Amino acid sequence: MKTTAPEDTETPDMKEWRWARSKACAPLSRKILRKWLAGRDASQYEEDASLLFMELFSNALRFCPPGRQIPTRWMLYQDRLRVEVDDATAEEPVIRAQGDDAESGRGLILVTLLADKWGVRPRVFNDGNGNYIAGKTVWFELRK
């Protein structure tokens, strides 16, 4: 796992979204990501990117305080796609062994297996009331 962002001189084709704290936004955001990629002739990323994005988005949804939004960024470079999802917990993602019957807890395993790179960057968020809360940005990259 890499914990810092790569240094790039290339300016990516970028889309930023802020999603409502609603389970309905999960399938909608996945559809919009797929359309965004298809519109940029980058459909080779669609399957893996939408799966991994949903894993990160689902975690962010779990930790999003009421009335807040989930910021996401999609960056398309010439040789790769980078997806970032902010969440409102400073807790580091950890791969945990899951039993065969577990209904969750495998998302980070998928990220590790499918992404070419992934990592975490600490962040601080303003809660809108003048308070600051610790959080993080979890990201992954897929290469052509």
Q: DSSP class of residue 23?
A: T
Single pTM value for the model: 0.86
Q: What are phi and psi of 73, to 5 degrees?
A: -140, 135
Please report the domains of the chain, with CATH numbers, ordered by start residue: 13-143 (3.30.565.10)
> pLDDT digits over 115-137, tens only?
999 999 999 887 778 888 889 99
**What are the pLDDT digits (tens) for 10-22?**
899 999 999 998 8
Nearest to 117 by CA among 64, 79, 70: 79
List the one residue out of 69, 49, 47, 60 whose CA is nearest residue 93: 60
